[in-house]
Amino acid sequence: MLAKGFDVLCFQEVHGLPTEILRQFQIWLPNWQFCVSGFLDTEGFPNAGTGGVVIAVRPGVARGVVTQHILVHGRCQVATFHGPQGQ
């Protein structure tokens, strides 16, 4: 199993459009929460061939919402864990 024994997984060099990346991870890790960031070209459009990053959070770990803050598209992002009432 991809995530056996882990609560948070971070992936880099994940290729594809953000929607494709998200769907594949939803298949591999059902019920997990994901923060997906794909690389953007110079005009601000997704570039599937240049890679991206994913943070995957196991169900129950965040006990609420996980929000994403992208620092550099497709290269660096932060996941923030909020409590059940957005704490």
The whole-number average pLDDT for the span 44-55 is 91
Q: Is residue 13 part of a domain?
A: yes
**What is the residue range of 57's domain?**
8-81
Q: Is residue 71 part of a domain?
A: yes
The number of angstroms, rounded, from the C-alpha of 38 to the middle of its chain's C-alpha atoms is: 9
The tokens for 53 are 């990053």
- Which pLDDT band holds residue 83 (cuts at 50, 70, 90)? confident
Structurally, the chain folds into a number of domains equal to 1
> What pLDDT shows up at residue 38?
92
> What pLDDT shows up at residue 85?
63
> What pLDDT shows up at residue 65?
83
- Which pLDDT band holds residue 72 (cuts at 50, 70, 90)? very high
pLDDT at 87 over 70: no
Q: Is residue 48 part of a domain?
A: yes
Q: pTM higher than 0.95, yes or no? A: no
Contacts for 43-51 with beta carbons within 8 Å, 24 or more apart?
A: 46/17, 46/18, 47/74, 48/15, 48/16, 48/17, 48/20, 49/15, 50/15, 50/74, 51/12, 51/13, 51/14, 51/15
